[in-house]
Amino acid sequence: MGIHSVAVVGQGYVGLPLSMKIASAGFIVYGIDTNKELITNLKSGVSNIADVDSKEVLEAISKGAYIPSSSYDVLSKVDAIIICVPTPLDEHKIPDLTILDKAIESTCEYLNSNILLIIESTVAPGTVRTHILPKILSLTEFAEDQIRLCFSPERVDPSNLSWNISNTPKLVSALTNRDLEKALDFYSKFVKTLIRCESVEIAETAKLLENSFRLINISFINELSMFCEKLGIDINAVISAASTKPYGFMPFYPSIGVGGHCIPVDPVYLAEKARSINAPMQTIDLSLKINDQMPEYYLRRIESNLGDVKNKRLIIIGVAYKPNVADTRETPVEDLINKLRLKGAKVFWHDNLVNYWKGEASTPLSNMFDLAIIATPHDYLNLSELGNVPILNTRSSI
């Protein structure tokens, strides 16, 4: 029995682009999200994701290929369900599977032994086999061999013009070879390169390795940036020189710290799992600590430039977590702004991609500030609008 209709649970940064890609491959896609305002917008053809044009949503709806819904009832019509909801950290920086668990619970009401259930949300090693599978068994009357459970972690890089869902190699795993083959056949309809993983644990761990690798290297380059600043060396020139080596090196660049939905979060899932089996990963713990300290480091740099920052007018340029996106999730800029305001500084921010954030609007660039701090350098920026305002660039050591 083939797959003709698919439900994608979660219509955010992962789920909506995935829904559009599946719809374009000839499937009927039900896009499910419990955010009713989001679904209302999607039904009107309004995309909430920069990488998905509203025209694409409208076209898919008009063809009957994409049907947004806030109700799980539509699961009774599908052959496969893909869950790609957030798996964030809680207020104590501990992995939080609450949203994923709720999605699983809602899905279980409609599961049957023919539906392929694919998890794309990032989880710790062992989660699919020892957490999700038992949960499904407890909520249904199925025998274990009737549950068709797969894991294929998302690989999404917002605003990346070179790599997308179709040409980014995709890891695919399942609890049984039968379901692995079916998942591979499904994904082959819209992804060029598929990587067959021998177990779900390999796929789970590989996903966490990808972003832990990035965290560790960004942490190291941030430390090296501080070292170069002390010596008066241009860190970017150092990176450029090192990058001429054609093997064994990959460039990473300094910043105010890591942000977004992956790098500050995914390594914690790996580190927590490591602690639970008494195999702690000190490298990850140290890297997280270093990057958490970067806003404090730049606070000291600002005070070194200005002295007492009380009543000084400062503008932070770029509040998104990376250049050329409007995504502010886990942005380290928030911590810097909070620290500066606690010191009495009058802090404004400029980011015309974000526009509104934390109840505030983007402030235009002008010469009316005591210092400008470049946190996220979007391509559109015209720094000449600052006039003679001194600039502290967090992307460079001097």
Q: Which amino acid is at 34?
A: T
Identify whether 150 is a catalytic site residue. Answer: no
What stretches in the chain show pLDDT beneath 70? 1
Residue 213, C-beta contacts closer than 8 angstroms, at least 6 positions apart: none
What's the confidence (pLDDT) of residue 260? 87
Give pLDDT tens digits for 133-169. Answer: 999 999 999 999 999 999 999 998 888 889 999 999 9
What's the confidence (pLDDT) of residue 396? 86
Give pLDDT tens digits for 64-86. Answer: 999 999 999 999 999 999 999 99
Question: What token pair was written down for 91?
Answer: 């207020």
Which regions of the chain carry the CATH code 3.40.50.720?
5-198, 294-393
* CATH of span 294-393: 3.40.50.720
Q: In the 8-state DSSP scheme, what is residue 135?
A: H
What's the confidence (pLDDT) of residue 51? 87
What's the confidence (pLDDT) of residue 331? 94
What's the confidence (pLDDT) of residue 4? 94
- Tokens 């609008």 correspond to 385
What's the confidence (pLDDT) of residue 1? 61
Helices in the chain by DSSP H: which ranges? Answer: 15-24, 36-43, 54-62, 98-108, 127, 133-139, 177-187, 200-231, 235-242, 266-276, 282-292, 294-306, 333-342
User: Which CATH architecture is the domain 5-198 placed in?
Assistant: 3-Layer(aba) Sandwich (3.40)
Residue 55 CB neighbours (<10 A) = 10
pTM of the entire predicted model: 0.93
What's the confidence (pLDDT) of residue 2? 79
CB 180 within 8 A of CB 171: no
In sequence order, what are the beta bridge partners of 357?
360
